[in-house]
A = this chain, B = another copy of it.
Amino acid sequence: MAMVSIKDVAAYAGVSPGTVSNVLNRPGKVAPATRERVEAAISELGFVRHGSASTLRAGHSRTIGLSVIDIGNPFFTEVAAGVEDVASELGYAVILGNSAGSQDKEERNLRVLAEHRVRGVLITPSGEDPARLDRLRGHGISVVLVDHPAHRPDQCAVAVDDVAGGRAAVAHLLARGARSLAYVTGPLTIRQCVERREGAKAAMRAAGLDPEELRVAETATMTARAGEQAAAGLIAEGLPEAVFCANDLLALGVLRALLRSGVRVPEDVALMGYDDIDFAAASAVSLSSMRQPTYQLGRIATELLLDECDNPDTHAHQHIMFQPELIARESTQ
């Protein structure tokens, strides 16, 4: 409980509080002898700076927010790892928000971030409502979109081309000879799900198929369990020759349900996931998938954000778009 403040340190070292603050923030400005005395006082008294006071006075904190759609998804976990690494290298703390796909929860999380006066926010939005993010920027909080293209030019964004990904995935399935296709997807309020579907339709069109023939099974969450349920539905209605899933979690669920029902993959049904999470290669039938530079997504987004915060005048907003890579494995052999 012995809260030791900058004043105590100052008294102990025989200097003024301002000098202690200088030692903390611009050590160059203070003479070596005094600096050492102050540093000794700091460690002897076990002083730790009160971040809130500092934030209050300085007007900004060394904290950023990260808002993701599903922290249970290894895709986001890896993004988070990239974010955390960069942030901690530069001495920033990360406040984590999990929207779990709910716009309400996302809203609540953003509010918390705004109250904390975070320096900036990294967000994979769970819906299309730029207004909400603009409000943050109104409070002087920079926003970088992760795995989502920019809403506006004066904003950084790091994304992956989901239309191209969907197209490549389905083109691959069609090249294998599949003619009837199902798309198992999360909520179509999520942009990624929509764009991957558009890519899939484009591939069908390119192959001379009617894109309206694509059977779409929409689930409420993008989890393995939801995938299992979707697969049960497909089985009940009659299986297509190939199934494309909007992410690997869904695909693993579909795979599990199919195998359990005695359906052979890929002989009876070819299967593709998306994200190429680590576990895709290790599943019962190893899963073909679209690989994305996940960790890099997190790293680069964070670097952009912190550059925007720390060097506001030289900072140039960037819209980065990666291309996903097709990884063919047993499930589409």
Q: List 14 A-B contacts (CB under 8 A).
A: A3-B140, A46-B135, A46-B138, A48-B115, A52-B55, A52-B56, A52-B61, A66-B96, A84-B96, A93-B113, A96-B96, A224-B282, A279-B283, A283-B283
CA distance A162 to B283 in the complex (A): 27
CA distance A114 to B46 in the complex (A): 12
Is A1's CB within 8 Å of the partner chain B? yes
Is A21's CB within 8 Å of the partner chain B? no
CA distance A3 to B49 in the complex (A): 25
Q: Mark A77-109, 1 if CB is under 8 A from B, else 0.
A: 110110010001001011111100000010011
By a CB distance below 8 angstroms, the chain B residues around A282 are 224, 252, 255-256, 279, 283-284
CA distance A76 to B124 in the complex (A): 21
Given A66-B96, A93-B97, A94-B95, 15 additional A-B pairs, CB 8 A = A2-B138, A48-B111, A48-B114, A50-B56, A51-B115, A52-B117, A63-B95, A71-B80, A84-B96, A96-B96, A255-B282, A256-B282, A279-B279, A282-B283, A283-B284
Determine if A84 and B98 form an interchain contact, defined as CB atoms under 8 angstroms apart.
Answer: yes
* A252-B282, A256-B281 as given contacts; A93 in contact with B72, CB under 8 Å: no
Chain A contacts with B in 39-72, Cβ cutoff 8 A = 46, 48-53, 55-56, 61, 63, 66, 71-72
CA distance A284 to B265 in the complex (A): 13
CA distance A53 to B279 in the complex (A): 45
A255 to chain B, nearest CB (A): 7
A3 to chain B, nearest CB (A): 7
Chain B residue nearest in CB terms to A111: B48
CA distance A116 to B64 in the complex (A): 13
Is A237's CB within 8 Å of the partner chain B? no
By a CB distance below 8 angstroms, the chain B residues around A286 are 284
By a CB distance below 8 angstroms, the chain B residues around A2 are 138
Chain A contacts with B in 122-180, Cβ cutoff 8 A = 135, 138-140
* A50-B115, A95-B94 as given contacts; A78 in contact with B84, CB under 8 Å: no
Is A74's CB within 8 Å of the partner chain B? yes
- The listed residue (B95, B139, B252, B256) touching A96 by CB distance below 8 A is B95
Chain A contacts with B in 270-329, Cβ cutoff 8 A = 278-279, 281-286
By a CB distance below 8 angstroms, the chain B residues around A81 are 71-72, 98
